[in-house]
Amino acid sequence: TAPKVVVIGGGFAGASFARAIKREDPQIAVALIEPNAHYTACPLSNAVIAGLRDMEAQHFGYAGIEADGIVHVQQKAIGIDPEQRRVVLTDEVRLSYDRLIVAPGIDMRLDAIPGYDANAAERMPHAWKAGEQTLLLRRQLEAMEDGGLVVISAPANPFRCPPGPYERASLIAHYLKANKPRSKILILDAKEAFSKQRLFEAGWAALYPGMIEWVSLSFGGAVTEVDVATRTLRTEFGDHRAAVANVIPPQRAGAIAALAGVADRTGWCPIDPVTFESRLVPNIHVLGDAVIGGAMPKSAFSANAQAKAGADAVIALLRGRDPSAPKLINTCYSLLAPDYGISIAGVYSPKDGLLAEVEGAGGTSPLDASLAERAEEAAYGEAWFDTITAEAFG
């Protein structure tokens, strides 16, 4: 009989994986478990927040995936029985597998910041899963009066999309500069440094002088508590009362990972870097943001690269061949304004049980690039989004 592969999560990792394995070995039966009728993409969602892009442009259906012969099971996985190799969908429905792929993305740690829970997120949105939260933050910015203070709190590493909070600050500044120029943005950061920092800071100085202030961990960046009623963020150095508060809390692998037993005490999922098989439970592979183990950032680009390598490895295992060590590429584009893009790239391969960065293979955009080059990178970023979404969902 044909081998059975079940994939939990139809995001960049799960959708890319399901397609890659079906294309390479059409005999394998592939089921994709995803409760939503369409996917809402995070990349470029900061442009939605800034009013530069329609939310509709972030939506992708699963018809293309179904046309490939993959079964979209529109339900949520609620449990896994690794002994019987079955995924539990509801009390009555179970799906059996030879290999299971867990690709649920992230969940917010809603216990990490006192005062910040699911209700608080309705007033101080994280907007770190695209959808209603993205639109809520957009509406709050639209409703804010000129001269208001927007506070963004960024978590410590590791978290989804390392340059994301700073891209968001940039694009919010773009909106405020044009519409509410007396307003300010304060970034409270639970770390000492961030991705593409010099490029962001140079861009802010050129595009939005005096508008964005970044506070590092040692200068009081860590938020210790929030007060929802007054939209106040507390730190050891003092309180900040925001007109709009975007609290991006610490994160962990999507809840099903812990239920499956593939998440460790950090909340993330350790894997074998050659096969992406869980270090904790056999026959289960983990892909995308849920993974921990090495230098690879949590991005849609990484999720897609891991999915393709993971598909090769799972086919090899199912067909009794030796999987080969992958080389994975990641590039993250960020927009500082509609025509001002920057990027960071890296290459990763298995080393000492981790996905290690290949030295000298990556880099960032030059600090002294011309405005024409920045405009080109902004266009590359959009072209990348069109390519990756077509590959995963088109």
* Residue placing its CB nearer to ligand FAD in the complex, 152 or 226: 152
Q: Per-residue x/- mask for ligand FAD, residues 358 to 387, rule CB under 6 A?
A: ------------------------------
State in angstroms the smallest separation of the CB of 353 from ligand FAD.
21
Which residues within the stretch 21-60 sit at the binding site for ligand FAD (CB under 6 A)? 33-36, 39, 42-43, 45-46
- Residues 120-139: x where in contact with ligand FAD by CB under 6 A, - otherwise, as a string: --------x-----------
340 touches ligand FAD by CB under 6 A: no
- Rounded least distance, CB 129 to ligand FAD, Å: 7
State the nearest-atom distance from the C-beta of 41 to ligand FAD, in Å.
7
Q: Facing residues of 154 across strands?
A: 189
Which of 174, 298, 308, 374 is the binder for ligand FAD (CB under 6 A)?
298
Give the Cβ contact number of residue 232 at 10 Å: 17
- CA 80 vs CA 262, 297, 378: distances in Å: 10, 27, 42
The nearest distance, CB 88 to ligand FAD, in angstroms, is 10
**Residues 269, 19: Cα–Cα separation, whole Å:** 23
- Radius of gyration, alpha carbons of the chain: 21
Residues between 136 and 175 with contacts to ligand FAD, criterion CB under 6 A: 160-161, 164
Residue written as token pair 């929802």? 228
Joined tokens for residue 23:
């294309």
Residue with smaller CB distance to ligand FAD, 323 or 381: 381
Q: Which residues contact 331 (CB under 8 A, 6 or more apart)?
A: 301, 343, 344, 345, 384
Site for ligand FAD (CB under 6 A): which residue of 5, 6, 13, 315?
A: 13
Contact with ligand FAD (CB under 6 A) among 277, 289, 357, 377:
289
Rounded to an integer, what distance in angstroms lies between the CA atom of residue 131 and that of residue 216? 29
Q: How far is the CB of 32 from ligand FAD (least distance, A)?
A: 9
Q: How far apart are CA 3 and CA 341, in angstroms?
A: 44
356 to each of 51, 66, 160, 295, how far by Cα in Å?
38, 35, 18, 6
- Which residue's CB comes closest to ligand FAD? 11
Among 8, 173, 185, 233, binds ligand FAD (CB under 6 A): 8
Sequence letter at residue 278: S
Specify the residue, 134 or 235, whose C-beta has the smaller distance to ligand FAD. Answer: 134
Site string for ligand FAD, 228-267 (x = CB under 6 A): --------------------------x-x-----------
Residue 303 touches ligand FAD, criterion: CB under 6 A? yes
Task: Dump strand ranges (E) for 55-148.
Answer: 59-61, 71-73, 79-81, 86-88, 94-96, 99-102, 106-108
Residues 80-119 that bind ligand FAD (CB under 6 A): 103-105
9 binds ligand FAD, rule: CB under 6 A:
yes
Output the smallest distance, CB 392 to ligand FAD, in A. 9
Q: How far is CA 127 from CA 49, 94, 170, in A?
A: 9, 33, 15
Report the alpha-carbon distance of residue 134 to residue 55 in Å, rounded: 9
Q: Measured from the CB of residue 254, what is the shortest distance to ligand FAD in angstroms?
A: 4
Q: How far is the CB of 358 from ligand FAD (least distance, A)?
A: 19
- Other Cβ atoms less than 10 A from the Cβ of 132: the count is 13
> What is the spatial distance between Cα 264 and Cα 334, in angstroms, rounded to a whole number?
31
Concatenate the DSSP letters of all residues of 367-393 into one string.
TT--HHHHHHHHHHHHHHHHHHHHHHH
Q: Give the residue, chosen from 299, 343, 365, 389, that forms a contact with ligand FAD under the rule CB under 6 A.
A: 299
Token pair recorded at residue 142: 């639209």
- Nearer of residues 31 and 368 to ligand FAD, judged by Cβ: 31
Ramachandran angles phi, psi of 215, nearest 5°:
-115, 120
The residue ranges that bind ligand FAD (CB under 6 A) are 8-14, 33-36, 39, 42-43, 45-46, 76-77, 103-105, 128, 160-161, 164, 254, 256, 288-289, 298-301, 303, 332-333
